[in-house]
Amino acid sequence: RYSHTTVCASCCLFNTLGAWEYLSSYFHLKFNYKDDWDIYSFHINSTVSSRYATTVITSRVANRMDESKEIEFHVRIPKNAFISKFRMFMDGEVYDGVVKAKEQAQQQYTEAVSRGQSAGIVSSVGRTLEEFKTSVNVAAHKKVTFELTYEELLKRKLGKYELQIHARPMQPVKDFKVDVYIHEEAGINFLEVKGGLSTKALGNAITKTLADKQAWVYFYPTEDQQKTCDSCGEQGMNGDLVIVYDVNRDTTLGDITASAGYFVHHFAPSSLTRIPKNVVFVIDQSGSMSGRKIHQTRIALIHILNDLAEEDFFGLITFDGNIFHWKRELVQANQQNVGSAKEFARNIRDRGSTDINRAVLEGARMLNAHPREGSASILILLTDGDPTSGETNRERIQSNVKKAIASKFPLYCLGFGFDVNFEFLESMSLQNDGVARRIYEDSDADLQLKGFYEEVATPLLTDVTMIYIGGTNLTQTNFSQYYNGSEIVVAGQITDNNIETFTPQVLRNTRMTFTNTDVTVELTGTISDNRIQRVWAYLTVKQLLEKELQLSGPEKETVKKEAMELSLKYSFVTPLTSMVVTKPPGERTDVLHKPKEGERLDHHSQGPDGEAKFIIFCGRD
Ligand SMILES: *[C@@H]1O[C@H](CO)[C@@H](O)[C@H](O)[C@H]1NC(C)=O
Ligand SMILES: *[C@@H]1O[C@H](CO)[C@@H](O)[C@H](O)[C@H]1NC(C)=O
Ligand SMILES: *[C@@H]1O[C@H](CO)[C@@H](O)[C@H](O)[C@H]1NC(C)=O
């Protein structure tokens, strides 16, 4: 029989493909459940309100064997979410997981190992999901209930919110249910259910109801149906249910929900017209881009160029160790120029090294040389590697870039594949009002590139400042650009919980464009309802983590400390905290870390579905 000892001894430090396969087959052997354990009930319950989703996964498992058995709980949750609770119920006892500072949890783990008690650390990174996995020893003919809670603020992208629910119970389950309840004061304007689990016969198992401010989605597939979706089989379901919706947007100031002294403001006016943009694409053509990557980049670029509006201006630079201009200055996106740029894009070839510094500075120069009243400038960098020629010191590159851009326009960095130092790209984007996105090397990479571009394709506002008289402890209030299909979200505390004196305003270019004349602050819930406070905490922690990335030295430490304290207070598992799973005495300690998107992963640790994983799983029974 396989035991943890075997695994630990033979592959504690595995990093190779062999180890991955070994691990897969190990799990396959060990958890060839059917006859030994029975998931007799699996429920996923998601409640969404003011775009904040709280999801509880409850799995009830029985050990049908005559001997005790290690029973596993293994689920995937959206990357953007924070786990906030994990409990196990067994033999009349409740075992509550505890969120601790990462170092402290790590220490507990190390001590457990050195005392000869086994311990496990489990974490992994995928495209949109990450894993939670633990296990517990269950006596013969006994049951265990696992309950995991996670929370996330749904982000509006391309005009919609998406709640992704992943279901892979590992076997067909008699009592399987997904219940989603959505409540939005602004009114829900459409509701759709997508994802692999909505295909084939499983589609019949979905019921959706939309009634103005509320919506319900139920998904109750039978055991037979659970074998019939595109990626489902004898082992039951394996796939996503994606709930898609948007809310009504009538009032110009958006909607503000308040409860128990906290508010959250969603601002995404529908009445605006697009403003022309100036966009420069800086495209890496270094040797490492060869093959499919450069091919997909060409395809995406050609699509993107096609979608430029006539009033837009654009520039295109490719770079390796040198820089290649299509044109030295920005030109108008008329038919002739777009045609010629597409020809240039078709002929991009991979070669040479990577001089990110020079390329980005040149892109910034082109935008700076082309100021245009009432337009929005955007710099987009696509790269698949680290700087290898010219200036290669990352801090100096960042400081050069920051100086060149001087907060005049956002820089978006697209990191292609896993050879990039994503954290470097991420902090550089954040320092310049942008964001970084990873492009996964896969057959749909061109669609990922195009999808990202679409999110920023239509600027509607620049230099937005949100002001809240009577508000305090506000999350970010200044936004360099606002794009069609996205949304500005600000949360904060209402001073003395006094709604009467609370006055929100939106300023643009210091001219007032939206006032509070028609705003109503919706009061929801009762005094004990802390939901909006959790939205505030979630946003604050996310933004502190981003700020931390941009800083160094003592400033970084201060921000880190603040983020950690809030994570602990609200029991969020963030990159700074860990969940220590509490188990009956004598059992292995499990510590769960939330991995960072920037985490450098070994190529070989990619799972079969293109999801990168890394697992350290050592210990003894
Ligand atoms: C889902 O969770 C909500 C909020 O905790 C609760 O009110 C509701 O009863 C739950 N629904 C089901 C079907 O368990
Ligand atoms: C914004 O996007 C919506 C579709 O999501 C579209 O109907 C609308 O026309 C767009 N607005 C502008 C100004 O482009
Ligand atoms: C936000 O913008 C306003 C004016 O637009 C400026 O006065 C203020 O300093 C900015 N705040 C931050 C935190 O950058």
In a domain, 484, yes or no: no
496 in helix, strand or coil?
helix
In a domain, 308, yes or no: yes
Nearest one of 234, 159, 226 to 197, comparing CA atoms: 226
- Report the pLDDT averaged over residues 236-262: 88
402 and 290 share one domain: yes
229 and 348 share one domain: no
Which CATH number do you get for residue 429?
3.40.50.410
274 ligand 2 Cβ < 6 A: yes
224 and 285 share one domain: no
231 and 289 share one domain: no
Q: How much is the pTM? A: 0.88
271 ligand 2 Cβ < 6 A: no
For residue 116, the tally of other CB atoms under 10 A from its CB is 7
In a domain, 374, yes or no: yes
292 and 229 share one domain: no
Residue 226 Cα distances to 56, 221, 548, angstroms = 20, 6, 44
47 and 93 share one domain: yes
116 and 176 share one domain: yes
Whole-number percent of the chain with pLDDT over 90 = 59
DSSP 8-state code for residue 606: B
Highest mean pLDDT among 16-30, 114-128, 348-362, 494-508: 348-362
607 in helix, strand or coil?
coil
Please tell me the distance between residue 163's alpha carbon and the centre of ligand 1 in angstroms.
Answer: 17
Lowest-pLDDT choice from 44-58, 313-327, 489-503: 489-503
Q: Report residue 274 as tokens.
A: 């697009």
Ligand 2 atom 10: the closest Cα is on which residue? 484
Contact of 108 with 580, CB cutoff 8 Å? yes
Structure confidence at residue 101 (pLDDT): 92
Contact of 77 with 129, CB cutoff 8 Å? yes
Q: Report residue 160 as tokens.
A: 């919609």
Q: Determine the length of the chain.
A: 621
Distance CA 67, CA 7 (A): 22
- Report the pLDDT averaged over residues 40-65: 96
Range of 385's domain?
A: 277-457
Nearest one of 459, 558, 586, 602 to 119, comparing CA atoms: 586
Sequence-distant (6+) residues with CB within 8 A of 13 are none
Q: Which atom of ligand 3 is nearest to the CA of 478?
A: 1
To test the ligand 1 pocket, which listed residue (48, 58, 181, 207) has its Cβ within 8 A of the most ligand atoms?
A: 181
Q: Which atom of ligand 3 is nearest to the CA of 463?
A: 5
Contact of 256 with 532, CB cutoff 8 Å? no
Q: Report residue 321 as tokens.
A: 């160790």
231 and 309 share one domain: no
Domain count, the chain: 2
- Burial of 552 from C-beta contacts in 10 A (0-12 / 13-18 / 19+): exposed
Ligand 3 atom 12: the closest Cα is on which residue? 478
616 in helix, strand or coil?
strand
In a domain, 397, yes or no: yes
Contact of 412 with 452, CB cutoff 8 Å? yes
Nearest one of 130, 131, 124, 134 to 614, comparing CA atoms: 124
In a domain, 345, yes or no: yes
pLDDT digits (tens, 9 = 90+) for 376-395: 999 999 999 889 999 999 99
283 and 224 share one domain: no
297 and 192 share one domain: no
Which CATH number do you get for residue 43?
2.60.40
486 ligand 2 Cβ < 6 A: no
Structure confidence at residue 234 (pLDDT): 83
Please tell me the distance between residue 214's alpha carbon and the centre of ligand 1 in angstroms.
Answer: 15
Over its C-alpha atoms, the chain yields an Rg (Å, rounded) of: 26
Report which bound ligand comes closest to the CA of 268.
2
Listed in sequence order, the DSSP H helices in 325-393 are 335-346, 356-368
Please tell me the distance between residue 159's alpha carbon and the centre of ligand 2 in angstroms.
Answer: 8
In a domain, 573, yes or no: no
206 and 288 share one domain: no
In a domain, 99, yes or no: yes
